Structure 1
Amino acid sequence: MNPEKSLADNSSSPPNGIEIDNVFQTPEGANSSVINTGLVDIVEVTPNQKNQAGAIWNTDNNMMDLTKNFEASMYLYFGDKGKDAADGMAFVMQADPNGNKAFRTGDGARLGVWDSTKKGEFGLAISNSIAVEFDTYYNNDFDSQIAKNRNHLAWNYPGEKSTYDDPWLGSRRMNHNDIQYPISNYFSNDQWHKFSVKWGASASILTYQFESLNPVSIPINVDTTFGTNQVFWGFTGSTGGSYASNRVVFEKVPGLVEGSIEEKVIDKNTGLSIQNKSVNSEAKLTYSIDVNYQSGKQDWKEVHVMKNLNDNIEYLPGSLRSIDSDGNETPLSDAYWSGNELNLPLGDLGVENKQKKIVFDVKVKSVPVNTEVSESVIAKGKNYITHSDNFNYTIISNVAPVITLEGANQEKVVDNGTDIEITGNWLDKDSETVSLYYQVNDSSPLVFEKETINDPKDTKHNYLATVSSTELLLGANSLKVWAVDKEGAQSNVETITILVRGTLKFVNVPDFEFGQFSLPLKNELLFSSTKETIKISDTRGTGSDWKLNVTLKKPFTSLEGNTINDFYYINQDNQKQPIQLNELILVRTGVTQESSIQEIGWAPNQGLALEILPSNYIGEYSSELEWILEDTPSS
């Protein structure tokens, strides 16, 4: 059901409506009443009888406040008598001295609001007012400005003499502003007709629209017209020798409740709105519906979200959920769906409970030709009903490709400097060629298979690509893969996280030589003659800490089995530390620099040293050291 169309079958079956308890009252003598059907309150302005006069106005507690913007929405019913109907009704805003007791009888042509049909006679109109009439009967003199025998819609100021023209010869006629004619020729066609009114307070402009006719905007001088910014509003109507039922049901009553409902549709592949855009057959979409209470004299009571999906859209079971203001999701039962129709109760909304967000997922069906979709959603409460704007998009007959990625949605750890391979498969049902892309982080996408022939179609095709280590940063990298067919349709996007781990390792550890020497007459400290430095590679990123230790694994021993036990490390502070078997000695600490290669050397009389004693034996000595490089946390 498209809620913007008039779809009622008869006088007791309006398309929508609310309860209006204590909102309107009927002045004494009026032939008007409120009919409660149990689901909706129907205002009968005039019954289906001859010579009736009706009026209904808001109560004192529900004045129309012209200092604030407002919107009213309703459906009008004019009976089922076609060209034989009479006389119609009028939407009226007024500050008549009689207020909501204002009531006028008289000729049916006056519709209970206009002044006398007699030339020269004034004072019978509802004063300080503006009226929009829905005239179902052509009166030869009073309506002579209108195309003959036409139902019509027009407006004017009932209490102003300028509204009427009394020619020297002939009878009085009324001046009709912005004349419009119903599309179906007659108002009285057994249909309910949508009518909406908006007031812009800052510009003092009243805008009304009847069904799909062009909106009419009226600048109003509030002081001159009403003399107050608090006015009464409602409907008047009349019948004569000809007659028809005149009825109204309301969706929105000004000031009673103000709320909104908004619908968005997001492509799950791209995360973007598809408003006025195209989407491919078999695509998956997310519908997002926001319902908000804004203000009002009452809470918005017993609100339901009512949604009817297009026939080419299929709800995905298990995806209906609500989302609170903190982003927490709560699954909702699929029992709220009946086929493609959703009827979801939200309870009452008010100052303490203003907002509800509902989301669900759908799949687009395959269509043989490009197909336009226009949808809306309704928030229907007992005392307020509002519609979202239409959301429009186009379903393309082409089916987008589908791609997989090995390890998708997982994390893969690699050492810095390591190239990686990505592999998976793709499938396209109907295109001649497909191109494959990958993207690392926010860099420009790269095509790694261009216009690959899709043969056979609707079959999985494997792919393999290499991503160079130069494209990856230290730490976490987002790698995305997708396919695009010849027609430009994009597949789903698969993502894997590549965690590039920096390394800390030796590049070079030289053999330390002490050369030839003679036994001294007294103890003597002998330093290594090796000029070559220890080099380390550190690709962990600047600011990382490291520590270099050394330990003796084998003592200095000669070929004959003699040992030199006095082995030392002299640090940068010239402190002398003995190097003993299997005991760690701290050699150096450091922090990663911008250059990944760091050298560790020593000043003269620092580093490794042997203390030679006169008592040592002559011979060729060697030992074994273990250098240990540690990755230490930053402090």
Structure 2
Amino acid sequence: MLRYLVYGLISLGLGGLLGMGSVASAAQLTPEQSDLQDALQTTPQGIPVSTYFDMGTSSLSQARVVPSRNSAVTNTEAVRLTNGTYQVGAVWSKPERKFDLNQDQTLSMWVYLGNQFDKAADGMAFVLQNDKRGKDALTKFPSSDPHKIQGETLGVWGVDNNNQETDGGRMQQYVADSAIQNSWALEFDTHLNTDNTLRTVHEANSFDLDKKNHPLLGPHIASNYPGDPKSYFPHIVYSWIPFKRYASTVYQDKGILPEKRGAVKGNANHPEGDFSFLSNGQWHHVTLTYEAQKANASTGTGQMTYSFDDRDPHSGIAGRSVMSTTVPIDKHKIDPDGSGKALWGFTGATGAWDENNLVVFDQIPSLVKGNSTATLLADGKEVNNGDVIDHGSPVQLDYRVQYQSGSVDWQKIAAQITLPQKITFKTVTITNANGQTDAVLGKDADLSTGKFTHQLANPLSKENPWVTISFTGKVQTQSGSVAAAVSEFNGTEAATETTTPQFNIDPPQMSLQMLTATGEPFDNQESVTLTGLVDLGNLQYRNSQLHIESWLNGKRQDEQSLRDSDEAREFHYNLAANSLRPGNNSLEMVVVTADGLMSNPLYLNLTGMADSTGGGEVSFSGQSMPLIFNGQLTGRPQELFSQAGFALHVTDSRLTGSWQLQAQVAPLTDFTTHRLLAGNLIYKSATGPITLTNVARPVMDHENQGSGSDVNVADSWSAAANQGLFLHLSGGAVAGNYQSKITWTLLDTA
């Protein structure tokens, strides 16, 4: 297999937003505003905030309630803790919604930590607290000047600004006194504060060191008690007389770390940190499960399990790459007066760098604890993930929505059900624990769309703790895998999701038998007809109800139908002249019935005679032209099409043969500031879009049809046809002049 390389340049010029038409002027969205807009347009399903929470009342708090802009969710609000530099914010549960430290609790939420990756600052924290300031509780900053806000505190940890303290114990106490008192915090730390030398140490920028003064390598999730002096480790650095004292945070657990992250810098056994872990432009689901007496009832210790990324933000499917840790909770440190309660909420802070910190709540402790499950039965047996069920099987799909506990009823529950594919559902019934049934009328009763949306008629409560939505139907006559389907049940007090199992439909045992001998080489310049038989087993189909689908050397061929004029179950498969290449060829064939049943595949190896012309080659003919993109930033995601003039020729002088074109792109970088572009180069063709990276990706395949060829790769490119090279820009792209190098690789695949 031959391989040829050719290099080209990509040039990109981006300007700011221009006013158009009758608009006198237009303000360009900042990257932070664009990121906030994107986050609000993709909020997952949650519950209203204002009914259950108060914004922090400190004069410094910037927290606000902002409505979701996602049309696919209902009754959802988000808390925006920060959205700029030098900000701090807090949101606290209303007094009647305090966290009960003496009862088992479950709460969950979605958190958004911006899209700044290694430029993020600084994160947020989930907090339980009994600070005397109540809703006014925040870190005690040294000044009311917002520019004195230290982002590393996240609004809950203490302030480390006494660099000339000589005693380590006094340093620990000093920092702890400025934190939120009587508190436990679970931090989502997106920015590393790692000053650790006499030259670099200054106020409040050293929390992310270990006890040996080594910087941590990446973003992390971990917990401890911000008002406890033992949560801070005192460091000192000096050179003869000059010295500086500074503190790092100590965690009660190893926390949650991405796989790429190492423990300490300089350790060869650990790779570099993963800065795409938290601030990556994605919503992350968090569940906290508290067990009041699990650890040690005699010492008043509870236990908290926190799980991160336990639901996919796009599909809602549970348990994708869930990371989980369990820690003890010392109730006395949170609740020294023994009230058994604690305010709970979130704090967040930024310093000189910015970050959008957002929270969407979907389950609140002591309000309503509910869940939902989906059970699929085929032929009366429960279907689990990966099971195989027979086509034509009768099925029953039950969704059970359950009220487990709470202080109020679970009201106005909207069922938004996505039914699994390849099943024809005929009936739906809704039955409550109290014996009442819901009438399903109108469009709700139409199950052919694969969607079922219905407002449940009865709230769930202690008196009516569950409702079952039951569907019956039949597996269609199609084979293949059926993906999990996600459904939501959203009320004003809680929101929950569930998924059906992934399963496979077993095809009937149809098969193909070849009658034509295939051991000898075929003359490639002549058409080839292959004759065979279809074994249908006990199935009854006419020839005209069958067709053959095939793939030659991995390329899909046109369908070929069987004819009723031939013998029953006999087929004649035709290969046009010059379809085979010299040497080995692979042919895969399946027979498909009119109603979608598919046979087992038949694999054939066919040998094509050598090309009688005896020559020819494939290669690039000349260098590629520069690719040029120009555009105006709008503050929203957009795609730019490459300007006219680009050409890349591939010449193949062989009569038969095939080749593949691959492309890889170095990161687009502003040649003045060296800033990386917030965007990607995308190659679009009839088979779909391909995002180009620094790893070679196939973008085009070509096969000669009995004569040589000279192909200009860009001939089929056009913005109208949505084909060719496009530059996708995120809403946070910054104006500038960017350049990169694209490597074109030509593979001889004949």
Q: Quote the offset at 1:429 in angstroms.
A: 6.7
Which consecutive residues of structure 1, in runs of 5 or more, have no partner in the other structure? 1-7, 400-427, 433-453, 461-635
2:226 to 139, 144, 158: 158
Partner of 1:459: 540
Deviations 1:124-153 (A, max 9, x none): 011211111111211112212386562221
2:40 to 1, 5, 11: 11
Distance 1:66 1:362, change over 3 A: farther
* CA spacing shift, 1:116–1:332, aligned 2, 3 Å: same
Larger radius of gyration: 1
How many aligned residue pairs are there? 397
SS at match of 1:49: coil
CA distance in 2, matches of 1:187, 1:323: 42
What is the aligned partner in structure 1 of residue 308 from structure 2?
210
Question: Cα distance, 1:109 vs. partner?
Answer: 0.5
TM-aligned CA deviation for residue 83 of structure 1: 2.1
Task: Say if 1:53 and 1:431 are closer, same or farther in 2 by CA, change over 3 A.
Answer: same
Could you tell me how far 1:352 is from its partner in structure 2?
Answer: 4.7
Q: Is contact 2:511-2:536 (8 Å) kept?
A: no
Question: What does residue 282 of structure 1 align with?
Answer: 392
1:507 matched to which residue of 2?
none
> Equivalent of 1:34, from 40, 65, 76?
65
**Cα gap change, 1:397 to 1:430, in 2 (>3 Å):** farther
Closer/same/farther in 2, CA of residues 338 and 226 from structure 1, 3 Å limit: farther
In the superposition, relative to structure 1, how do residues 393 and 185 fare at CA in structure 2: closer, same or farther (>3 Å)? closer
Aligned residue number for residue 322 of structure 1: 430
More displaced 10-residue stretch of structure 1: 156-165 or 20-29: 20-29
Aligned match for 2:507, one of 398, 402, 419: 398
Corresponding residue to 1:219 among 311, 328, 342: 328
Q: What residue is the counterpart of 1:142 in the other structure? A: 207
Cα distance change, pair 32–393 in 1 and its aligned pair in 2 (3 A): closer
Structure 1 letter corresponding to 2:105: F
TM, length-normalised to structure 2: 0.49
Q: CA deviation at 1:220?
A: 1.6
Counterpart of 1:190 in structure 2 is: 281
Q: Is the 8 Å Cα contact of residues 150 and 185 (structure 1) preserved in structure 2?
A: no
Structure 1 residues 172 and 456, CA gap change in structure 2 (3 angstroms): closer
Structure 2: gaps of 5 or more residues = 1-36, 69-73, 142-148, 164-170, 195-205, 238-244, 259-273, 295-301, 310-320, 514-534, 542-750
Aligned counterpart for 1:58 among listed residues 93, 102, 105: 93
Instruction: Provide Cα deviations, 1:308-355, integer angstroms capped at 9, x if missing partner.
Output: 233x433423x0112344878766247225722222210433345433
CA drift of 1:387 comes to 2.4
TM-aligned CA deviation for residue 69 of structure 1:
1.5
Number of the residue aligned with 1:174: 249
Partner in structure 2 of residue 296 of structure 1: 406
Q: Aligned match of 2:107 in 68, 72, 75?
A: 72
Counterparts of 1:456 and 1:44 in 2: how far apart (Å)? 63
Match of 2:368 in 1: 257
Q: What does the per-residue CA deviation read over 1:81-120, in whole Å, with 9 as the maximum and x for residues that have no partner?
A: 2322211110111122222321224411010111122461
- TM-score under structure 1 normalisation? 0.58
- Secondary structure of the structure 1 residue equivalent to 2:345: strand
- Write the deviation string for residues 260-280 of structure 1: whole angstroms up to 9, x where unpaired: 22221112x2x2222344322
1:114 correspondence with 2:157: yes
Correspondence 1:384 to 2:415? no
CA distance in 2 between partners of 1:321 and 1:164 (Å): 58
Rounded to whole Å, the distance in 2 between the matches of 1:138 and 1:320 is: 54
Specify whether residues 115 and 28 from structure 1 end up closer, same or farther in structure 2 by C-alpha distance, changes over 3 A only.
closer
Where do residues 220-259 of structure 1 align in structure 2 (5 Å cutoff)?
220-227=329-336, 228=338, 229-259=340-370
Identity percentage of aligned residues: 27
Distance 2:502 2:129 in 1: 43
User: 1:125 aligned to 179, 189, 195, which one?
Assistant: 179
Q: Deviations over 1:259-303 (max 9, x none)?
A: 222221112x2x222234432233231001122223323321210
RMSD: 2.9
Distance in 1 between the 2:85 and 2:43 partners?
24
- Alignment partners' CA distance in 2, 1:180 and 1:222: 23
Higher relative contact order, structure no. (Cα contacts within 8 Å, ≥ 6 residues apart): 2
Whichever residue aligns with residue 199 of structure 1, its letter is: Y
- Pairs within 5 Å for 1:332-351: 332-333=440-441, 335-336=443-444, 337=447, 339-347=449-457, 348-351=459-462
Q: Deviations over 1:472-519 (max 9, x none)?
A: xxxxxxxxxxxxxxxxxxxxxxxxxxxxxxxxxxxxxxxxxxxxxxxx
CA distance in 2, matches of 1:56, 1:100: 8
Given the superposition, is the C-alpha separation of residues 338 and 11 from structure 1 closer, same or farther in structure 2, using an over 3 Å criterion? farther
C-alpha contact (below 8 Å) 2:289/2:304 kept by paired residues: yes
Name 1:103's counterpart in structure 2.
Answer: 138
Report the CA distance shift for 1:338/1:285 in structure 2 as closer, same or farther (over 3 A).
closer
Q: For residues 475 and 511 of structure 2, what CA distance do their matches in structure 1 show?
A: 16
Q: How does 1:189-588 map to 2 (within 5 A)?
A: 189-203=280-294, 204-211=302-309, 212-227=321-336, 228=338, 229-267=340-378, 269=379, 271-276=380-385, 277-310=387-420, 312-317=421-426, 319-325=427-433, 332-333=440-441, 335-336=443-444, 337=447, 339-347=449-457, 348-366=459-477, 368-369=479-480, 371=481, 373-388=483-498, 390-399=499-508, 457-459=538-540
Q: Secondary structure at the match of 2:401?
A: strand
The answer to whether the 8 Å contact 1:313/1:362 transfers is no
Judging changes above 3 Å, is the alpha-carbon distance between structure 1 residues 367 and 196 closer, same or farther for their aligned structure 2 residues?
Answer: same
